[in-house]
Amino acid sequence: MSDTILTVEDLSVKLPKGADRSHALGGVSLSIAADEIVCVVGESGSGKSVMANAVMRLLPPEVAIAGGRVLFEGKDLASAGNAEMRKVRGAGIAMIFQEPMTALNPLRTIGDQIGEMFEIHTELSKKDIKARVLALLQDVRIPEPAQAARAYPHELSGGQRQRAMIAMALALDPRLLIADEPTTALDVTTQAQILKLIRELQKRRKTAVLFITHDFGVVAEIADRVVVMQHGQVVEQGPVQDMLHAPQHPYTQQLIAAVPPLTAPPPRTLNADHILTLENVSKTYRNGGFLGRGARVTHAVKSVSLNLPRGATLGIVGESGSGKSTLARCIVRLIDPDGGAIVLEGKDWAKLSRDEVRRETKHIQMVFQDPFASLNPRRKAGDLVAQGPIVHGVPRAQAWAEAQELFRLVGLDPSAMDRLPHEFSGGQRQRIGLARALALKPDVLVADEAVSALDVSVQAQVLKMLHELRERLGLSIVFITHDLRVAAQICDLVAVMKDGEVVEHGLAGEVFGNPQHAYTQALLASIPGGDFTRSKKPVTV
Amino acid sequence: METVKRYFRSPAAVVGLFLLLVVVAMAISAGWLYPNDPLSLAGRPLIWPFSNPRFLLGTDNSGRDIAAQIFYGARISLLIGGVATLIAVVIGVLIGAFAGYYGGWVDTLLMRITEAFQTLPNFVLLLVLVAVFGSTLTTVTIAVGIVSWPAPARLTRAEFMSLRNREFVQAGRTLGMKDIQLILGEILPNALPPVIVYASVVMAVSILLESALAFLRLSDPNVASWGNLIGLGRDVLRVQWYVSAIPGIAILLTVLAVSLVGQGLNDALNPRLKSR
């Protein structure tokens, strides 16, 4: 490659004692040329973020570079002093982070924060800085740049904040931009826009981009070259087309195989009998205001009507703020709906009193999104699973024996029941959460983003297990997700939500294959690496 | 186990624990080392420390052995500190838990009551309680406990408010748990560590409050407490200053010990906060 900007040679980074491995990075080598986007792909714990932070020398205090070189414009950053690094950061190498809300200072305006870059690194006058900031904001295509410059971070949407972050990173025309999962926290339509923006700016300015992601869809969308990392080592690197279509290393092959395809598996015959029926379910939030005046009213769920056939899976997809999680919480009565009926096995669930809900709750159970937050950190795994039956009057010994069975059912070793949640991995915790929900032998399972926090390969395993359990236990599932690829894999029926309303629903194959509503079409078009994922054969999980 | 190991890694925490154990040892050994009533006449009044081997720390203005009073005083300070802290934490946790868990009007009501207590200076309220109910050891202990609960209540409430919407609590609710099961079984164990740490502050303040009360001669005069000794020494402060200074140092070291242990617990229970 001509005109190499950054060369990483045999870089190793040591972890403090007591970590799960001795080195976060062991001998990583890669290079990036000008006008090139290199994607570093790997699952959580692969060391991809540590690598980016090591280049910027932003490692936490106990973590240190143990060996190797980071050559940027002829200088070795691995051994550069702090003063030297400060000159490189921002001006030579800029970085954008995953969560634009926490990366921006909430107490200062956007314009101020971008202007700071010029104040620190240049001698420009206040007026010039202001003009430059405005030009930058125009460049990243924020609507109403002048207004955005005066806004505080919380006044912008997630996508606009990420645009502001990009403007800040590009302020001094750095030669290298490091982007650490910059679109992971964004909705799919916003993600598509941001990816397009990064690609465009990069082409125009001939910046080298080191793009860190876990998503092969994003890779297919943006990368020129791909570096695959596992356990702190580079297992394979090469041009994007080769990597996507002819991966050599078994780990790369496994990762690509785990990318969910966008085509739905052939439809199953559905039961005509409906186990769960939602009729005009609504939930409205009111906040602020005095005696009803000036109050802000949010219609989180607007008159939603859906049916779930017995033994089927109903997917509810939508972006953040679409009301899908509120709907899920209404169904299990964590939130009381304002109106409408939720009929489960002939009983109107929405009209039951709190006490009745407590008694009837064994018919409908929920699996939560965050495998770290959804388990009480102070209870043993076995207790967590046995808890439900014990609450409903099953003797302790019997509940514990049943929990053992459930552990086997979800693919965990019953000998691990004495361990605390933090001793399990994310995927294992999600299995515990599933076992806990299944302990009450529910008829309907509501899974709220149940696989969204997991790595692709783990995600595929959990989905496969859900599929098997559905068959074996005759479960009916309401599956809430923002990821259409996941929905395509497991759902028989799909409902697309936007602003609290269901805009389109029907069989998964029809909704994905022939979307009718403009919003569904936009969602499908925004999926990163759309052609790549569509080209994959549907796997029958 | 991890927590214990982390605790012993900090030298300050180990020193604090050692001091606290010394005070506890004094309290336990008092009856054995000084079998006589510490408030009975022992010798000539106002003997300077280290001048008479029979009275190592000298005697006070009524001729009572200061060393004996210090040893017995350790019992009173630990008793008042311990029991008053227990009272304050139990009341505080109960009120904070209900306010934080239920929110709404329950929260408003309980917090207004808490604020009513907080706006009154602790010590003035303590004086009023002692003036009304008399100054026996029991009433003083309870009164100290009653003036100290608002801070633990606010702390518990804040913890409950942040924990009550966590997914594991929602999961408990979907399993059909009753509110009381959620409060006691799910949320409280997770909310407790910062409250336990704060309890050390309450304990230190309780010991100081009792001493201050005794200094004004409003504490129970029939027990040998450090505060009483300081109060007595007031009359001879300019010449025989040691009568007040020795119990003063005892109080200083005990409060220091309790605070160091509290800090050590804090670092051991919240390891992530410390490394920065």
Instruction: Look at residues B188, B179, B163 and name the one whose alpha carbon lies nearest to residue B92.
Output: B188
- Taking the CA of residue A242 and the nearest CA in chain B, the distance in Å comes to 42
DSSP code at position A516: -
Chain B residues within 8 A of A332 when measuring between CB atoms: 174
Q: Tens digit of pLDDT for each residue in B241-276?
A: 888 899 999 999 999 999 899 888 888 877 655 444
Q: Do A19 and A142 belong together in one domain?
A: no
CATH of domain B2-274: 1.10.3720.10
Q: Do A133 and A84 belong together in one domain?
A: no
Better pLDDT: B157 or A535: B157
Chain B residues within 8 A of A391 when measuring between CB atoms: 175-177, 181
pLDDT reported for residue A504: 92
The angle at the Cα of A205, spanning A202 to A208, to the nearest 5 degrees, equals 55
DSSP code at position A288: S
What is the CB neighbour count within 10 angstroms for residue A291?
Answer: 6
Alpha-carbon span A238 to A123, nearest angstrom: 42
Q: Do A370 and A437 belong together in one domain?
A: yes
Q: Do A37 and A159 belong together in one domain?
A: no
Query: Nearest Cβ partner of B176 from A329, A368, A391?
Result: A391
B244 neighbors B230 (Cβ within 8 angstroms): yes
Q: Show contacts of A55-64: CB within 8 Å, 24+ apart.
A: A55/A6, A55/A8, A55/A93, A55/A178, A55/A210, A56/A85, A56/A89, A56/A93, A56/A95, A56/A178, A57/A85, A58/A95, A59/A13, A61/B275, A62/A15, A62/A16, A62/B275, A63/A13, A63/A14, A63/A15, A63/A16, A63/A24, A64/A13, A64/A14
Alpha-carbon span A482 to A478, nearest angstrom: 13
Alpha-carbon span A54 to A39, nearest angstrom: 16
Chain A residues within 8 A of B271 when measuring between CB atoms: none
Q: Do A448 and A357 belong together in one domain?
A: yes
Mutual angle of helices B66-102 and B137-148, in 10-degree steps: 40
pLDDT reported for residue A1: 46
Instruction: Look at residues A536, A433, A538, A529 and name the one whose alpha carbon lies nearest to residue A195.
Output: A529
pLDDT reported for residue A291: 57
pLDDT band at residue A2 using 50, 70 and 90 as cut-offs? low
Alpha-carbon span B206 to B146, nearest angstrom: 10
Q: Is residue A445 part of a domain?
A: yes
Q: Tens digit of pLDDT for each residue in A149-190?
A: 998 988 888 888 888 998 998 888 899 999 988 888 788 888
- Taking the CA of residue B149 and the nearest CA in chain A, the distance in Å comes to 26
Backbone angles phi, psi at A223, to 5 degrees: -80, 150
For residue B253, CA distances in Å to B8, B163, B207, B231 come to: 20, 37, 11, 18
Mutual angle of helices A396-409 and A426-438, in 10-degree steps: 130
Cβ distance of A376 and B167 shorter than 8 Å: no
Chain B residues within 8 A of A424 when measuring between CB atoms: none
Cβ distance of A366 and B168 shorter than 8 Å: no
Strands A444-448 and A364-367, how do they pair?
parallel
pLDDT reported for residue B276: 40
Instruction: Please give the tally of structural domains in chain A.
Output: 3
The nearest alpha carbon in chain B to A367 belongs to B171
pLDDT band at residue A478 using 50, 70 and 90 as cut-offs? very high
Q: Is the pLDDT of residue A207 over 80?
A: yes
DSSP code at position A293: B
Cβ distance of A436 and B175 shorter than 8 Å: yes
Q: Helices marked H in chain B — which ranges?
A: 2-8, 11-33, 66-102, 104-119, 122-133, 137-148, 150-163, 167-174, 179-181, 188-215, 226-233, 242-269, 271-274
Alpha-carbon span B233 to B214, nearest angstrom: 11
ipTM for the complex shown: 0.77
pLDDT reported for residue A538: 52
Query: Nearest Cβ partner of A391 from B166, B170, B181?
Result: B181
Query: Chain B within 8 Å of A387 (Cβ-Cβ)?
Result: yes
Better pLDDT: A114 or A293: A114
A395 neighbors A446 (Cβ within 8 angstroms): no
Q: Do A55 and A119 belong together in one domain?
A: no
Where a domain ends, among A117, A148, A171? A171
Provide the 3-class DSSP secondary structure of residue A345. Answer: coil
Provide the 3-class DSSP secondary structure of residue A112. Answer: helix
Q: Is the pLDDT of residue A217 over 90?
A: no
A212 neighbors A178 (Cβ within 8 angstroms): yes
Strands A339-344 and A347-348, how do they pair?
antiparallel
Share of chain A above pLDDT 70, in %: 96
A14 neighbors A30 (Cβ within 8 angstroms): no
Provide the 3-class DSSP secondary structure of residue A273. Answer: coil
Cβ distance of A368 and B176 shorter than 8 Å: no
Q: Tens digit of pLDDT for each residue in B141-150?
A: 999 999 999 9
DSSP code at position A349: G
Chain B residues within 8 A of A287 when measuring between CB atoms: none
Q: Do A422 and A527 belong together in one domain?
A: yes
The nearest alpha carbon in chain B to A434 belongs to B171
pLDDT reported for residue B183: 93
Over residues A270-285, mean pLDDT: 88
| Paired residues of A285 in beta bridges | A298
Q: Give the range of the structural domain holding residue A141, as residue numbers without chain letter.
A: 102-171
Where a domain ends, among A115, A146, A171? A171
Cβ distance of A388 and B176 shorter than 8 Å: yes
Query: Chain B within 8 Å of A370 (Cβ-Cβ)?
Result: yes
Query: Chain A within 8 Å of B190 (Cβ-Cβ)?
Result: yes
Better pLDDT: A540 or A479: A479
Query: Chain A within 8 Å of B51 (Cβ-Cβ)?
Result: no
Query: Nearest Cβ partner of B175 from A370, A375, A391?
Result: A391
Mutual angle of helices B242-269 and B226-233, in 10-degree steps: 150
Q: Is the pLDDT of residue A258 over 90?
A: no
Q: Tens digit of pLDDT for each residue in A377-434?
A: 888 899 999 999 999 888 999 999 999 999 988 888 888 888 888 888 888 898 999 9
Q: Do A77 and A192 belong together in one domain?
A: yes
The pTM of the full predicted model, rounded to 2 decimals, is 0.81
Q: Which residue has the tokens 């950061």?
A: A89
Over residues A100-105, mean pLDDT: 82
Cβ distance of A440 and B175 shorter than 8 Å: yes
Q: Do A153 and A34 belong together in one domain?
A: no
A487 neighbors A504 (Cβ within 8 angstroms): no
Name the token pair of B241: 């200053």
Query: Chain A within 8 Å of B275 (Cβ-Cβ)?
Result: yes
Name the token pair of B101: 């868990």
Name the token pair of A240: 């994007």
Query: Chain B within 8 Å of A334 (Cβ-Cβ)?
Result: yes
Amino acid at A330: C
Chain B residues within 8 A of A437 when measuring between CB atoms: 174
Q: Is residue A269 part of a domain?
A: no
Over residues A494-506, mean pLDDT: 91
Chain A residues within 8 A of B175 when measuring between CB atoms: 361, 365, 387-388, 391, 436, 440
Instruction: Look at residues A285, A299, A302, A278 and name the one whose alpha carbon lies nearest to residue A350.
Output: A278
Q: Is residue A342 part of a domain?
A: no
Provide the 3-class DSSP secondary structure of residue A312. Answer: coil
The angle at the Cα of A521, spanning A518 to A523, to the nearest 5 degrees, equals 110
The nearest alpha carbon in chain B to A335 belongs to B170
Cβ distance of B176 and A378 shorter than 8 Å: no
Chain A residues within 8 A of B196 when measuring between CB atoms: none
A447 neighbors A367 (Cβ within 8 angstroms): yes
pLDDT reported for residue B144: 92
Q: Is residue A38 part of a domain?
A: yes
Q: Do A41 and A152 belong together in one domain?
A: no
Cβ distance of A373 and B166 shorter than 8 Å: yes
pLDDT reported for residue A540: 44
Query: Nearest Cβ partner of B176 from A358, A370, A378?
Result: A358
Work out the burial of residue A88: count CB atoms within 10 Å of its CB; fewer than 13 is exposed, 13-18 middle, 19 or more buried.
Answer: buried
Chain A residues within 8 A of B168 when measuring between CB atoms: 373-377
**β strands within A338-425, DSSP E:** 339-344, 347-348, 364-367
A211 neighbors A38 (Cβ within 8 angstroms): yes
Q: Do A153 and A200 belong together in one domain?
A: no
pLDDT reported for residue A264: 76
User: Average pLDDT, whole number, for chain A?
Assistant: 87
Q: Tens digit of pLDDT for each residue in A344-372?
A: 888 888 888 888 888 888 889 999 988 88
CATH number of the domain that residue A386 is part of: 3.40.50.300
pLDDT band at residue A536 using 50, 70 and 90 as cut-offs? low
pLDDT band at residue A462 using 50, 70 and 90 as cut-offs? confident
- Residue of B2, B9, B168, B276 to mutate, testing the A interface (most A Cβ within 10 Å of its Cβ): B168
Chain B residues within 8 A of A329 when measuring between CB atoms: 170
Alpha-carbon span B29 to B33, nearest angstrom: 6
| Cα pseudo-dihedral A525, A529, A532, A538, rounded to 10 | -70
Q: Is residue A408 part of a domain?
A: yes
| Paired residues of A307 in beta bridges | A277
The angle at the Cα of B66, spanning B63 to B72, to the nearest 5 degrees, equals 120
A300 neighbors A500 (Cβ within 8 angstroms): yes
Query: Chain B within 8 Å of A376 (Cβ-Cβ)?
Result: yes
Q: Tens digit of pLDDT for each residue in B7-53?
A: 888 888 999 999 999 999 999 998 888 888 888 877 777 778 887 77
B:161-180 residues touching chain A, CB 8 A cutoff: 166-168, 170-178
Share of chain A above pLDDT 90, in %: 26
- Tell me the CB-side half-sphere exposure of residue A259, using CA atoms within 13 A: 29
Chain B residues within 8 A of A357 when measuring between CB atoms: 176
Q: Do A38 and A109 belong together in one domain?
A: no
| Paired residues of A234 in beta bridges | A229
Domain boundaries, chain B: 2-274
